[in-house]
Amino acid sequence: MTAIPNTLELAGRAIVDIPSFYAEINRVFMADETWALAESLDALNDLLYGGYGAIDGRAPVELVWREMEASRAALGIETTRAWLLEKLQSPATFNTDVIRNQLDALERGEGQTYFDIILEIIGDHRNIMLVPA
């Protein structure tokens, strides 16, 4: 008998930019915690490994992403461009050559958007089954 996975739901229409994405992640994954996840893709990746928040280690999770297309649009090219340009303002913290290459790829229509990066991170966690809804 297969265990019924923990089901979590993201409200895609609540995601209008990067801060609201993390607000939604915190609402869904961190509701029982006394602290919030930072606005960081690395922090998101760490969260998905489980051990705190709503994910119990490697237990199966069904992540239903409602209104996913609204989130895709909100975290698309314009948001990604602004995010990358902001990183360029901190050359001591970020590799500006890599960021410029990411910007160039984005402008050519070949680069990943913030939304694409999120999907890649989720996809790296085999215990999480993403369900677009």
Tens digits of residue pLDDT in 3-57: 557 999 999 999 999 999 999 999 999 999 999 999 999 999 999 999 899 998 8
Strand partners, 66: 11
- pLDDT number for residue 74: 98
- pLDDT number for residue 2: 55
Strand partners, 109: none
| pTM (predicted TM-score) | 0.93
- The answer to whether the beta carbons of residues 65 and 10 sit under 8 Å apart is yes
Residues 6+ apart with CB under 8 A from 102: 84, 111, 112
3 state DSSP class of 63:
strand
Q: Which domains does the chain possess?
A: 1-74+115-133 (3.30.370.10), 77-112 (no CATH)
DSSP E strands in the chain: the ranges are: 6-11, 61-66, 128-132
